[in-house]
Structure 1
Amino acid sequence: MEVREPSAKYLARTAFKQTDVGLIPGDWSVSTIGDLASTSSGTTPPRAQANKYFENGSIPWVKTLDLNNGSIVSTDETITPAALSETSLQLYPNGSVLVAMYGGYNQIGRTGILEISATVNQALTAIRPDTKRLHPGYLLRVLNHRIDYWRTVASSSRKDPNITSKDIREFPLAVPPIPEQQAIAEALSDADALIESLEQLLAKKRQIKQGAMQELLTGQKRLPGFAGEWQPTPLGAIGEFLKGSGITRDEAQSGTLPCVRYGEIYTTHNDYIRAFQSWISLEVAVRATRLRQGDVLFAGSGETKEEIGKCIAFVDKLEAYAGGDIVILRPRGFDSLFLGYALNTANVIRQKASRGQGDAVVHISAVALAQIEVRVPDATEQTAIATLLSDMDTELAALEAKLAKARDLKQGMMQELLTGRIRLV
């Protein structure tokens, strides 16, 4: 089923009134969760009797780990009927909204809405709305939108701040008429469905690309029309090595000429340079190392041997420069984009790790890199493989942009709909 971007018809803006939760439409009211729903919590059956209370269980048992700020359709653990009958556990119905109370600021306020009947542990409060006055989906969206509220009430008497069931019952919220609550919940559910579909598609495309890289960059799978052996070739035979020049943090924001600093190879770039983050002045460029189209840049320093020597290809024609702790390979007769992909594969990473020097800070030199071997096909096949993989990257980038747009759209919808600034028909 195709999921489209949610659309809505909007009413004209209405008169607002000032309340404890801010400005809201005049026909909305303000209440608390405790006034509109019943709340309770759960427990953990004795682990010492796991064979009685957990093994071969069939009843879902929700923990903070299971909360995803959306629909809960399965749980990490299940319990037995004996656990339900012999402890204080309750079975909560579909539509119950769950809130995490423990675990510090990164956990408290996490939510979920049951799409199944389930029990919960003692770290969660289960909210059962009076559906004549409070729509469960609307409540879920309000809680997600106002998660920072819990910082204002969390108890800091322990190492990890917590909230209580009382705090949850006293949570104040704006209450539109039930039909409008339902419309808001449905619109935001459509937005969630779009985001989820894009996330799933993106994950699938990334998996496909990863598989293609594993097969194509090792010669396990050949593109149509290509044959012949791949030759193990040391990097020293592929081209010459150069060194980047030291560029300080301040200098990296001093002008308009693009440059790469070694840390950005780890944090910003993957396989090849798509966009620059640092820009130097002409005065700094005079003493810096200028890149040529086709250069391959290695991070000469790093924190671990497993990451040392990560590399990226520079495939553009524009004027750009390399900072210090960067080792530059200038290939002769090899496709640099292919090398950008191939020199980050598992076999090459292992070789780089074995040649890295140091503990707290790891270094790798041009001499060490020159000894690393990579299996390469002829130049035509190199280019064909690189083109296919870069086309996949382009598709992934477009999907990532679409996903970011969908998330921004949802955020904007929440801000407008949950405050009544825009009213849904």
Structure 2
Amino acid sequence: MSEVKNKKFQSGFQHTEIGIFPNDWSIHQLVDVAENNGLVRGPFGGALKKSSFVKKGFKVYEQRNAIYSSVDIGRYYISASKFQELSRFSLNSGDFIVSCSGTIGKIYQIPKNAPKGIINQALLKIKLNSLIEPRYFYQVFNSDSFQDRITDSTQGGAMKNLIGMSEFKKSIIPLPSLQEQTAIATALSDVDNLIQSIEKLIAKKEAIKTGTMQQLLTGKTRLPEFATRDDGSPKRFKQTELGKIPEDWELISIREICDFITGFPFPSSKYQESGIKLLRGSNVKRGNTDWSDNITKFWADSTSGIEQYLLQEGDVVISMDGSLVGRSFAQLSDTDLPALLLQRVARLRSKSISQDYLKEWVCSPVFSDYCDSVKTVTAIPHISPADILNFRLFVPSTRKEQTTIATILSDMDAEIQTLQQRLEKTKDIKQGMMQQLLTGKVRLAH
């Protein structure tokens, strides 16, 4: 066993090449906690050709299985004879797979009753020995410090973003007793379970919001106070080019209802360290603005002739370029201002309909699907001003109904945002726990 040398640092602690740990912890390399031949890289070269794949058989596990933590993803299978030939690459329940090229460092443990199969060339298999508790290993592997060491072991040049196996095997693993490993793993796993439950709740709320949007924004579901005529009879539907809508609604294009402009090409050579914020495409995210220091630029507030590009509270802005075109939008609040509109970002401002209602349409799947249908298929996808202006939406005849619909959807957004904030806070707590528990700065009773 190649236990790493260390020296006494202070009373009760030792100083190692990766930091300070309790004296009663042992410091090992990754290869030490794996069974003999338990660190295996997937087959290279001609060992696993697509020509050898069959429609049914033994599963070929791919990088996506590690990235998305699922055994259900997969496209390829091999025959029983090929499986026997490549048996050293086979997986059993409890084994770990690690993505080791491109998106490196994602880890997943093969569950019970998973389909039998082998790893492909983009995966590494790890079979642990009895020195380490698997859940503890999973937590150490996912820690920031260990992930940084994986990054340091990657190769460059033609082999860029490929884990260098010789260095990877030497990655340091600090080991308390098995009892303490179990205590640490249990504490961190409990927080993981909480994180997963919040993520599932967010996904459920988002699905409910999407379904509610589809009903309310099309008038398929009418709110009771708007569903009947003055005489109490139910309002009917009428046919339009885009389907049936309530009789008192209209099918209207953005062109007909919005004051629309795109931003000015403020030259980057004249950006300032302070002044008025410039709203660029990089500041527009999925439903919100991002004014992080590393992406926010400024313009001198003394420049004349820029008044028409000054943004207002309630303005809806849409990024017109990028992989998320049609999904990068925001409605501005007073905290975003003052700000100026930069080129390749569109601004929508309407006096004829509710801005909040307009925003709900821009964040709807209908708008994103529309943008997908009209965007250019190039290295940097983009949509044109005409594409946005030609988008059509269903609009209730009264401002009150527009506002009521928008309020319901906005309240659902606020609930989701509260959950997302709770999720981020819980993740921060988990990171703090990892930094304390995985270094022995805080010890658990066991």
When normalised by structure 1's length, the TM-score is 0.75
Q: What is residue 341 of structure 1 aligned with on the other side?
A: 360
Give the C-alpha shift of residue 288 in structure 1.
2.8
Return the letter of the residue paired with 2:357: F
CA distance in 2, matches of 1:193, 1:309: 30
CA contact (8 A) 1:154 1:161 kept: yes
Q: 1:309 to 1:95 in 2, by over 3 A?
A: closer
3-state SS of paired residue (1:225): helix
CA distance in 2, matches of 1:160, 1:193: 34
3-state SS of paired residue (2:421): helix
Q: Any unmatched runs of 5+ in structure 2?
A: 1-9, 228-246
Q: Deviations over 1:338-396 (max 9, x none)?
A: 01222455666788899999x9896855x986666432102111011100111111111
Cα RMSD (Å) of the superposition? 4.2
Q: State which drifts further: 325-334 or 199-208.
A: 325-334
Q: State which drifts further: 196-205 or 84-93.
A: 84-93
> Is residue 17 of structure 2 the alignment partner of residue 20 of structure 1?
yes
Return the letter of the residue paired with 1:261: L
> Is residue 106 of structure 2 the alignment partner of residue 110 of structure 1?
yes
3-state SS of paired residue (2:211): helix
Q: What is residue 408 of structure 2 aligned with on the other side?
A: 388
CA distance in 2, matches of 1:171, 1:350: 46
Give the C-alpha shift of residue 226 in structure 1.
1.8
CA distance in 1, matches of 2:39, 2:335: 64
1:14-93 to structure 2, matched below 5 A, reads: 15-38=12-35, 39-41=38-40, 43=43, 47-51=50-54, 55=56, 57=57, 61-68=60-67, 74=72, 76=74, 81-89=80-88, 92-93=91-92
> Is residue 202 of structure 2 the alignment partner of residue 202 of structure 1?
yes
Q: 1:313 to 1:372 in 2, by over 3 A?
A: same
3-state SS of paired residue (2:225): coil
Name the count of aligned residue pairs: 397
Q: What is residue 238 of structure 2 aligned with on the other side?
A: none
Q: 1:260 to 1:211 in 2, by over 3 A?
A: farther
CA distance in 1, matches of 2:433, 2:351: 53
Q: 1:379 to 1:160 in 2, by over 3 A?
A: same
3-state SS of paired residue (1:95): coil
Give the C-alpha shift of residue 199 in structure 1.
1.7
CA contact (8 A) 1:195 1:403 kept: yes
CA distance in 1, matches of 2:282, 2:108: 37
Q: Any unmatched runs of 5+ in structure 1?
A: 1-12
CA distance in 2, matches of 1:284, 1:330: 24
Whose RCO is larger (CA < 8 A, sep 6+)? Answer: 1
Of 427, 434, 446 in structure 2, the residue corresponding to residue 407 of structure 1 is: 427
Give the C-alpha shift of residue 406 in structure 1.
1.6
Q: What is residue 10 of structure 1 aligned with on the other side?
A: none
Q: 1:285 to 1:268 in 2, by over 3 A?
A: farther
CA contact (8 A) 1:32 1:170 kept: yes
CA contact (8 A) 1:253 1:279 kept: yes
3-state SS of paired residue (1:98): strand
Identity of aligned residues (%): 27
Q: What is residue 138 of structure 1 aligned with on the other side?
A: 136
Q: What is residue 244 of structure 2 aligned with on the other side?
A: none
CA contact (8 A) 2:14 2:23 kept: yes
Q: Deviations over 1:91-139 (max 9, x none)?
A: 54433333344x24x32x33222222654325344333332x2212212
Q: What is residue 242 of structure 2 aligned with on the other side?
A: none
Q: What is residue 323 of structure 1 aligned with on the other side?
A: 341
